[in-house]
Chains A and B, each alone.
Chain A
Amino acid sequence: MNTHILPQPFEYVEPQTIDEALQYLSEHKEKVKIIAGGTDLLVQMKIGKVSPPCLLSLSKISALRYVIEESGLRMGPLTTFRELQMTPSISKRYTALFEATKAVSTAQIQTMGTLGGNLCNGSPAADSAPPLLVFRGKVKLMDAREERILSLEEFFIGPGKTALKAGEMLTEIELEEVNERTGSAFKKLGRVSADLSKVSIAVAIVRKDDLCKECRIAVGAVAPVPMRARKSESILIGKKIERSLIEKVSHQVSQEISPIDDIRSTAWYRREVVKAMARETIQLAWERAAS
């Protein structure tokens, strides 16, 4: 294995518009791999895991690079983690997403890596997935003929697998509206901070006085896909938040996940450590939700 070079030649196309990209995709389908930041794809190509005959680069399509706040938040898939961090509405209101972008690997990867690339790679450990799940993210997928909108939960199918069909691409990520009564937080545990996560978790809570009105919890790297922990959420909804209740929820999260042993951790450790992470993240999200 030589990671010094890309061994296989390929055709490289750089459309300027979404229409041009979709047209090219519809004509070449399986032969094409879409490249955004390239931080995952180029590594896979270097180690010979994939060798696509053609790369379609999105980097010149400025219509895929934006963050617009109107009712909720609409984000172009080509937006980088660094650009998301610099967006005031994200750092102020979508705290869990802001924290996740800071937790992504390194400053260099945050500059290069894109939100869409992170999702389309289909990794159960994708840092952006848990926060997008707790803000009830939706994704817009387009091919040359039509568009469809899926919830992010429907988008993830298995490790490395998404609902994207050949010829289709992700064109927008949409989050629901949040207000000052929503508090959210994200935590990630890796061996060192630049690593992929062993476990990641995001929590969003809508508070009304002393009650938890809404609660969403999502976890990453502990199941075949990034997932919502709905049973755990239901324990908190409508309740007064107390230490004993948070303790109960954290045990439920540990029950609800289906982790595996892999290079980064063991199933046993993930089930143990997720309890502590759930406790801390729920507490933090609760404190951040204005009473």
Chain B
Amino acid sequence: MKKQIALTVNGVKRELLVNPQDLLLNVLREQLGLTGAKYGCGIGECGSCTVLLDGEPILSCMTLAVAVNGSEVTTIEGLLGSDGSLHPIQESFLEHGAVQCGFCTPGMILMAKNLLDKNPHPSEEEIREHIRGNLCRCTGYTQIVQAIKEVSLTRKA
């Protein structure tokens, strides 16, 4: 039987009907058309389905949509400014060539946002530690780490 849930997704209130077995990732992608979060491994190893739930990173492919009723979800689409401008972290990823195939990028950027929100000036070790659950198979970790570091350096302390 379908259940009604209410979510705030990227600042917009949404009321949705979901089955108990529906995963948050599929609801975001198929019901809301937010295809930024990706299906990768499906078992919690790759981090490409990462979204922020009340500001903290979770794996949306291992989260029941029904269980996040009442919460606030941020996907990569939610980082755009109201005028359509890119978030500074997104800009930095572009500048550093930290994107190749792009599949891991939404997860990487949301992890970077989560880290920088709590710790505006992380060390390289702290950056690597924080994104250890996000796999990049184009071997771009160096640029990704540099991109995150650059944002932390240019931000006002």
- Residue A106, interface by CB 8 Å: yes
Contact of B20 among A2, A39, A55 (CB under 8 A): A55
Total count of chain A residues near the partner, CB < 8 A: 33
A276 at the A/B interface (Cβ < 8 Å)? Answer: no
CA distance A46 to B58 in the complex (A): 18
Q: How far, in angstroms, from A8 to B22 measured CA to CA in the complex?
A: 10
Measured between alpha carbons, how far is A42 from B114 in the docked complex, in Å? 25
Interface 1/0 per residue, A90-118 and B, CB below 8 Å: 00000000000000011111011000000
Can you name the residue of chain B whose Cβ is closest to the Cβ of A80?
A: B56
Q: Which range holds the interface residue count of chain B? A: 20 to 34
Which of A6, A47, A193 has the most CB atoms of chain B within a 10 A radius of its CB? A6
Contact call A107/B66, Cβ cutoff below 8 A: no
Closest chain-A Cβ to B48's Cβ sits at a distance in Å of: 11
Most buried by B among A47, A105, A109, A192: A109
**Shortest distance from the beta carbon of A10 to any chain B beta carbon, whole Å:** 6
**Which residues of chain A come closer than 8 Å to B42, judged between CB atoms?**
2-4, 46
Of residues 10 to 54 in B, which have CB atoms within 8 Å of A's CB atoms?
19-23, 26, 39, 41-45, 47, 50, 53
In the bound complex, CA of A57 to CA of B69 (Å):
13
Other-chain residue from B23, B39, B53, B133 in contact with A6 (beta carbon distance below 8 A): B23
- Report the separation of the CA atoms of residues A4 and B38 in the bound assembly, to the nearest whole angstrom: 11
Within 8 A of B (CB), among A7-35: 7-12, 14, 35
A90 to chain B: closest CB distance in Å?
18
B57 at the interface (CB under 8 A from A): yes
Q: Main secondary structure on chain A at its contact with chain B?
A: loop
**Chain B residues within an 8 Å CB radius of A59:** 67
**A3 and B39 alpha carbons, distance in the complex (Å):** 9
A136 vs chain B, min Cβ distance (A): 30
Q: Known contacts A38-B62, A194-B45: does B50 contact A108 (CB below 8 Å)?
A: yes
Quick check: B56 and A82 within 8 Å, CB to CB?
yes
Find the A residue at minimum CB distance from B130. Answer: A107
20 examples of A-B residue contacts, CB within 8 angstroms: A3-B61, A4-B39, A5-B26, A8-B21, A10-B20, A11-B20, A12-B3, A35-B64, A39-B44, A42-B64, A106-B132, A106-B133, A106-B134, A107-B114, A107-B130, A107-B131, A108-B133, A111-B53, A111-B58, A194-B132
Using CB atoms and an 8 Å cutoff, list the residues of chain A in contact with chain B: 2-12, 14, 35, 38-39, 42-43, 46-47, 55, 57, 59, 82, 105-109, 111-112, 192-194
**Interface residue ranges, B against A (CB under 8 Å):** 3, 19-23, 26, 39, 41-45, 47, 50, 53, 56-59, 61-64, 66-67, 111, 114, 130-134
